[in-house]
Structure 1
Amino acid sequence: MEKHEMPDRRFAPVPNMTIGEACVQASCFLEEAGVGEARANAELLLMHLLGLEKSALLRDWRDPFPGKCEAAWAELVERKAKGEPVQYIMGEQWFYGLPFRVTPAVLIPRPETELLVEAVLAAADRLWPAATGDEPEALRQSELEGRSRRRLRAVDVGTGSGAIAVTLAVQRPEWQVCATDLSGEALQVARSNAKRHGAEDRMLWLLGDLLEPVTAAEQPLAVDILISNPPYIPAGDIEGLQREVRDYEPRLALDGGEDGLNPYRKMLKQMQCMSEVPHIAAFELGQGQAHEVARMMADTRWWNEIRIIDDYAGIGRHVIALRTSSSCN
């Protein structure tokens, strides 16, 4: 991917400085380079370099900065000044209370995606209460008997780092979670995160485009829950994204076609090839897309409940659909 090159500026740490002075100097350098939240980024990089938590950083603020770390510190600050996301520099991002390895092969997990996971967990607990074994009367008895013979299966389409899939597997160890991705490198990152959190052996990993590896098998997988945070940026809008996203995050995980909605259209079409449409389908979307995707899902008549979930900024960010009635097509 072609980078939008910034002027090459060198960062020279001041000799004999304190840890606090190192942070302030780096903050000023990053701010001059056009980096947003320069102080916060400098603190994150400093904690990463020195292996300190925030409380320890404040405690050691007036201690001498280790001279042996000056070269490594300069390299970290210069990488951030060029726009590289701090998560890629550190190789990690937290999601739903767990640390996840991230590389330039995967999208960096966002806090708003945690709301999508929460909505799916709540919807599943409503349809299949684990504590009582009771099921909504609207669900067909034959469906329930068939499902009782196997574990609930959730599929995370376009898993990337595996943040969604691994979180579901950790939160619901009784489920079988399947993760798909078009990128083999992304699946490797996701599997490393599953192994890190003790979930790899309870998960399936499928390489392919969206739902294709699920539906194209000789015996298509039965899926109860489908969840996806697919590429949703309109192709023409990518050049206008902030440089941290535009120049460093994988375009494969960003480009949703001309209007950003191609992945949703394709997944809804692919669902026609499934043995049974999932009882729960949940998508993350871009700004201004929620109502159109909700309409597309309603037009299928597969689900009798469809709702939009706002993110922390009040933007419609997710659509979740539930089938609780046997009258749905």
Structure 2
Amino acid sequence: MDIAQALQSSGIAPIDAETMLAFILQRDRAYLLAHSHDAIDEAQEMRWRQYVDRRRTGEPVAYVIGQREFYGRVFHVDRRVHIPRPSTENLVSMALDFLSNPKDDVRDLETGIIGTAKVLRDCSAVTTIVDVGTGSGCIAITLALERPDLRVIAIDISSEALEVAKENAKRLGAARVEFLEGDLLSPLADLSDPFLLISNPPYLSDTANLSPEVKDFEPSRSLFAGESGEEILLRLGAECIQSPYCHGMVYECLET
């Protein structure tokens, strides 16, 4: 079997097929087009067929190949964590802008999704970033690498998600990120540093109509937030306002 035959016989979306085969061959998608008649070996073909079978069940490509690019870096992802989206890359850019020029702001991150920034206290005093609901660690690790002058703490209620985040931090050279397990700001009882809160929390209603690709494979705790979809954001906002050390918030949510 050659590259062209593999792609043509896959029965899945061309971009998905190209992404998976390029991953197996450790090449980019442009290589597939330029070398369409190159043969793939037996081991590669077996792996390819396994990947195609998984994708046909609806499993997201990111889980099939075990990675997702985020802000120019490759993060490991699996079913323990939510798959990072482009909207959250835009949220990171928004947080970096906020750190340079703190002000209240609302931005479109993606269709139907907005980022909100709020100044709560003097943000020029901020020395620490706190990422709540870190998942794969993509936000915390990216900010740690983009702003090495700031302390970064990543929190998640899931020990399994934290395992993935720690793996990513080690592999991407962000071992200085501190990981804490717990609910929202509860692990910060001993923190007395002025911090900026950044979060992509669960913000979907429990009755939200999602595609099977999302509903059947991604962890529900990273998606749903009660009947209104606002329960976690409301709790998080209240905790930030009550904390004398939270000087600002940057978070992702649905446009209403």
User: TM-score range, shorter-chain basis?
Assistant: 0.7 to 0.9
Q: In the alignment, what sits opposite 2:178?
A: 204
3-state SS of 1:257 partner = coil
Q: In the alignment, what sits opposite 2:193?
A: 222
3-state SS of 1:235 partner = coil
d(CA) in 2 for partners of 1:69, 1:224: 48
The alpha carbon displacement at 1:277 in A equals 3.1
1:281 to 222, 226, 249: 249
Q: Is the 8 A contact 1:222 1:274 kept in 2?
A: no
Counterpart code for 2:17? A
RMSD after superposition: 1.9
Q: In the alignment, what sits opposite 1:24?
A: 8
TM-score scaled by structure 1? 0.69
The alpha carbon displacement at 1:230 in A equals 0.4
1:48 to 23, 35, 44: 23
Q: In the alignment, what sits opposite 1:64?
A: 39
d(CA) in 2 for partners of 1:174, 1:265: 30
Q: Is the 8 A contact 1:179 1:205 kept in 2?
A: yes
Gaps of 5+ in 1: 1-16, 31-37, 128-138, 290-329
User: Is 1:156 aligned with 2:131?
Assistant: yes
d(CA) in 1 for partners of 2:167, 2:239: 28
Counterpart code for 2:7? C
2:204 to 226, 233, 246: 233
1:75 to 43, 50, 59: 50
d(CA) in 1 for partners of 2:32, 2:226: 44
Give me the identity figure in percent. 38
* Pairs within 5 Å for 1:136-147: 147=125
d(CA) in 1 for partners of 2:82, 2:43: 33
Question: Which has the higher Rg, Structure 1 or Structure 2?
Answer: 1
Cα separation, partners in 2 of 1:66 and 1:225, compared to 1, 3 Å: same
Deviations 1:73-96 (A, max 9, x none): 211100000000110111100000
d(CA) in 1 for partners of 2:40, 2:228: 50
Cα separation, partners in 2 of 1:221 and 1:205, compared to 1, 3 Å: farther
Q: Is the 8 A contact 2:225 2:232 kept in 1?
A: yes
Q: How many residues align?
A: 239
User: Is 1:189 aligned with 2:164?
Assistant: yes
Q: In the alignment, what sits opposite 2:107?
A: none
User: More strand by proportion, 1 or 2?
Assistant: 2
Counterpart code for 1:207? E
The alpha carbon displacement at 1:272 in A equals 4.3
Q: In the alignment, what sits opposite 1:113?
A: 88
Q: In the alignment, what sits opposite 1:122?
A: 97
Q: Is the 8 A contact 1:106 1:160 kept in 2?
A: yes
Which structure is richer in relative contact order (CA contacts within 8 A, separation 6 or more)? 2
User: Is 1:266 aligned with 2:240?
Assistant: no
Q: Is the 8 A contact 2:194 2:245 kept in 1?
A: yes
User: Is 1:84 aligned with 2:59?
Assistant: yes
Counterpart code for 1:211? L
Could you list the structure 1 runs, at least 4 aligned residues long, displaced by more than 6 angstroms after superposition. none
